[in-house]
């Protein structure tokens, strides 16, 4: 019996052990499950539970303003409203009110000015797992009138809350610098994108307990987290200077039938960008123009000042000159001979003047923009040293300007540079630059050799309601980015030579009497598909003033002007003259010339037409078309002579003295005008106005003429004109 009892006890113990083991396993599983639910998934389930008995409304932060350096508003945010859908509650509302989806979408569409089908699509939205959405944005940035209309519908599940909308009060003004926002209110381009985190601020939220109908409980405690508004961004841009540049760019594009125009104005001593214009542009208030493809919109939004690169042409001779002066490869007494072409490694390269410039000094090859001379200069400097100075000037790398999408130009490695490459690099071909990249290097010549990062941020700040003024939180430190790359004495010497380019050389149409402007023109043929494109040019001008101690630098680029008149000296330099003059007046910069002298230098040059032999009234009408005044002796009915001989170049508005007689007979002698830089069309018009004819050789612009300027010839004479593709 004891034996049976013992066996029974053992079996009972085994069963007990198994039971305990099973219970332990169950409890251990429950423990793991609870651990997973409470610890691993705790935050998720807690948030889910909270979402079921609370409602949360995001309170948008007000985006900071964008101001110019003088506090003028460029971009502001206004309080508007948004409409969101709590779909679970809205479905319950539809059930209680016996409304179909079609009926509900129709109600909301009418209130918001939307299409019923679009509202229905939003309401029927699905999650990635195929389940119906529980929340959706119906429409953002609506005005108060629409918000009140939606509220008046009294539909549970339709939430109307505050929102902000960005306004650009000046429309297209400064568009590429400012950029614009996407549908979520985040920066998409320009400084809106670059400084999005600074401008955006931090949204707040309002969390309240609700009942099962999603209505707020009367005695619950709301948790409110206030939004932190974004900071104001104060730009280096000066609204007045920007306006000057905007108008000049618009006119240059229209006058030259150009594809695009870019103008940049800077302070070379601290890197401040005072103006930056690209035409054509867009309205940041409505950047997505109807009828344009995505590619067309991207091209329109692109800030060509920083994102596009090109072969700069003769403006690059400024950098070659710095390298030559600093290495001692040239000096003011150096002599060069230009025969119109030269041969390197079996390749013949032409100067823009095919007949040649003859014997020239270093200053002459700058004034004449002689490719032959600069090929000699490049060879004297050598490919290694020239490339070293090109890189010192910042080419081949981004400038670091605070704008998105900056591109860096291409600088050929010295080991790959052939003698032919060295020659073309010296006068502005082969390597590529962006507009801002070039002007940054040009600034180093203007400021005594310091390479300074260009920038648009002047200060970040906020508006203080108590003091009723803007308060600066931080200021951009331009000194921290400056580094000495050129010798100050050599850059001063070069500036004096560049002043002669404007006063006597190819940049003479930028000259303003009494103001010492230094600069350089460049006319570059556009490259594409591995070759240069016929009839497509880029005309550029870079200038600084006053030359001895520059306070302002100006860069002009005219892309694909009318191929009948593409020479930079003819089309880019006059734009620079206008911009400089307006800036001088605005900044009250002193001149060492009288107001009358300055005004005269700003007038256009006009070739006096031949009105002899015409009736007096007819002659007067023709002179008026040329913006020329006249005086007459009033003795006869016909013009028989003119004090200013036909073909003479005078300033617009000049008085032409007409001598009259009783018959149309007159001495048929005229003066040969200066036709250099004109295309066929303009050369023909000028010659026709004085009764001369042209015989052309070559293609491009007038590089030389068979009869010297000022020579007296008989009407009907033929002037031989040599045309070349000009690249100065």
Place of tokens 């006058």: 255
In the structure, how many helices (H) and strands (E) does the chain have? Answer: 23, 33
Identify whether 546 is preceded by a cis peptide bond (ω within 30 of 0). yes
Considering 314, 334, 369, 654, which one is annotated as catalytic?
Answer: 314
Among 558, 666, 673, 537, which residue's Cα sits nearest to residue 605? 673
Query: What does the DSSP assignment read for 336-377?
Result: EEE-SEEEETTEEEE-SSTT--EEEEHHHHHHTT-HHHHHHH
3-state secondary structure 150-213: HHHCCCCCEEEEEEEEEECCCCCCCHHHHCCECCCCCECCHHHHHCHHHHHCECEEEEEEECCC
Strand partners, 223: 207
DSSP structure class, residue 132: B
> What is d(CA 228, CA 204) in angstroms, rounded to the nearest whole number?
7
> What is d(CA 648, CA 690) in angstroms, rounded to the nearest whole number?
10
Whether the CB-CB separation of 237 and 419 falls below 8 Å is answered with: no
Contacts of 228 (CB under 8 A, 6+ apart): 61, 201, 202, 204
Give yes or no: 314 in active site. Answer: yes
CB atoms within 10 A of CB 468: 7
| Beta strands at 341-344 and 347-350: parallel, antiparallel or unpaired | antiparallel
* Exposure letters 165-180 (e unless 16+ CB within 10 A, then b): bbebebebbbbbbbbb
Whether the CB-CB separation of 244 and 579 falls below 8 Å is answered with: yes
Place of tokens 């400038």: 399
> What is d(CA 224, CA 380) in angstroms, rounded to the nearest whole number?
73
Residue 265 has phi, psi (to 5 degrees) of -120, 130
Among 54, 57, 77, 56, which residue's Cα sits nearest to residue 66? 77
Place of tokens 């015989």: 695
> What is d(CA 228, CA 222) in angstroms, rounded to the nearest whole number?
19
Contacts of 122 (CB under 8 A, 6+ apart): 85, 136, 137, 138
Helix locations, 461-537, DSSP H: 488-503
> What is d(CA 151, CA 263) in angstroms, rounded to the nearest whole number?
49
Among 232, 77, 223, 233, which residue's Cα sits nearest to residue 162? 77
Residue 668 has phi, psi (to 5 degrees) of -85, 65
Contacts of 7 (CB under 8 A, 6+ apart): none
DSSP structure class, residue 589: -
User: Cα angle at 190 between 187 and 191, to 5 degrees?
Assistant: 75
Residue 32 has phi, psi (to 5 degrees) of -65, -40
Among 281, 240, 239, 283, which residue's Cα sits nearest to residue 261? 281
Tokens representing 93 are 């509302």
Whether the CB-CB separation of 576 and 541 falls below 8 Å is answered with: yes
Report how far apart the first and last C-alpha atoms of the chain are (Å, whole number).
125
Burial class of residue 467 in the structure, from the number of CB atoms within 10 Å of its CB (0-12 exposed, 13-18 middle, 19+ buried): exposed
Among 313, 309, 310, 257, which residue's Cα sits nearest to residue 280? 257
Catalytic annotation, residues: 314
């Amino acid at each position: 019996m004891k034996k049976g009892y013992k066996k029974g006890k053992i079996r009972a113990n085994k069963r007990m052990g198994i039971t305990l083991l099973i219970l332990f396993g169950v409890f251990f599983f429950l423990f793991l499950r609870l651990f997973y639910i409470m610890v691993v998934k705790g935050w998720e389930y807690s948030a889910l539970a909270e979402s079921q008995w609370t409602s949360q409304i995001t309170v948008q932060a007000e985006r900071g303003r964008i101001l110019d350096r003088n506090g003028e508003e460029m971009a502001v945010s206004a309080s508007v409203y948004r409409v969101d859908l709590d779909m679970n509650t809205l479905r319950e509302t539809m059930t209680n009110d016996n409304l179909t989806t079609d009926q509900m979408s129709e109600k909301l569409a009418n209130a918001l000015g939307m299409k019923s089908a679009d509202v229905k699509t939003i309401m029927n939205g699905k999650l990635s797992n195929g389940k119906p959405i529980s929340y959706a944005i119906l429409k953002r940035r609506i005005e108060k009138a629409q918000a009140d209309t939606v509220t008046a519908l009294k539909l549970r599940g339709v939430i109307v809350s505050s929102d902000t909308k960005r306004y650009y009060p000046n429309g297209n003004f400064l568009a590429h610098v400012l950029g614009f926002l996407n549908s979520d209110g985040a920066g998409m381009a320009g400084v809106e994108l670059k400084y999005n985190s600074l401008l955006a601020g931090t949204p707040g939220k309002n969390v309240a307990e609700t009942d099962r109908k999603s209505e707020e409980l009367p005695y619950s405690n709301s948790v409110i987290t206030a939004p932190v508004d974004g900071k104001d961004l104060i730009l280096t841009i000066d609204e007045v200077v920007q306006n000057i540049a905007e108008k000049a760019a618009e006119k240059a594009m229209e006058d030259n039938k150009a594809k695009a125009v870019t103008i940049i104005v800077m302070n070379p001593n601290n890197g401040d960008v005072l103006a930056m214009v690209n035409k054509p542009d867009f309205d940041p208030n409505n950047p997505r123009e109807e009828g344009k493809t995505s590619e067309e919109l991207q091209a329109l939004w692109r800030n060509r000042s920083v994102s596009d690169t090109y072969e700069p042409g003769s403006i690059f001779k400024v950098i070659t000159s710095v390298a030559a002066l600093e290495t001692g490869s040239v000096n003011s007494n150096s002599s060069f001979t230009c025969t119109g072409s030269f041969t390197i490694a079996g390749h013949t390269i032409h100067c823009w003047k095919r007949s040649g410039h003859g014997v020239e000094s270093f200053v002459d090859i700058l004034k004449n923009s002689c490719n032959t001379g600069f090929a000699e200069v490049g060879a004297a400097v050598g490919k290694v040293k020239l490339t070293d100075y090109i890189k010192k000037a910042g080419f081949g790398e981004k400038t670091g300007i605070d704008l998105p999408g900056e591109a860096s130009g291409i600088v050929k490695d010295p080991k790959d540079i052939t003698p032919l490459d060295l020659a073309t690099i010296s006068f502005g071909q082969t390597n590529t630059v962006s507009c801002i990249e070039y002007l940054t290097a040009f600034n180093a010549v203007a400021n005594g050799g310091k390479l300074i990062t260009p920038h648009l941020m002047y200060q970040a700040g906020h508006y203080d309601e108590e003091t009723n003024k803007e308060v600066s939180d931080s200021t951009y430190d331009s000194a921290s980015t400056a580094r000495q790359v050129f010798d100050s004495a050599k850059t001063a010497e070069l500036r004096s030579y560049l002043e002669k380019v404007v006063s006597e050389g190819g940049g003479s149409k930028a000259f303003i009497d009494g103001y010492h402007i230094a600069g350089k023109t460049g006319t570059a043929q556009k490259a594409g598909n591995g070759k240069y494109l016929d009839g497509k040019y880029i005309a550029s001008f870079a200038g600084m003033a006053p030359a001895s101690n520059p306070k302002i630098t100006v860069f002009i680029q005219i892309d694909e002007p009318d191929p009948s008149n593409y020479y930079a000296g003819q089309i880019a330099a006059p734009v620079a003259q206008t911009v400089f003059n307006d800036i001088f007046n605005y900044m009250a910069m002193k001149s060492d010339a009288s107001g009358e002298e300055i005004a005269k230098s700003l007038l256009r040059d006009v070739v006096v037409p031949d009105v002899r032999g015409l009736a007096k009234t007819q002659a007067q009408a023709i002179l008026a078309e040329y913006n020329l005044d006249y005086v007459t002796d009033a003795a006869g009915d016909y013009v028989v002579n003119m004090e200013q001989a036909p073909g003479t170049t005078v300033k617009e508005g000049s008085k032409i003295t007409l001598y009259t007689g009783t018959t149309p007979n007159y001495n048929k002698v005229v003066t040969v005008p200066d036709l250099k830089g004109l295309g066929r069309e303009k050369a023909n018009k000028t010659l026709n106005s004085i009764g001369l004819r042209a015989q052309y050789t070559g293609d491009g612009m007038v590089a030389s003429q068979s009869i010297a300027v000022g020579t007296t010839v008989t009407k009907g004479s033929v002037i031989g004109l040599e045309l070349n593709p000009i690249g100065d």
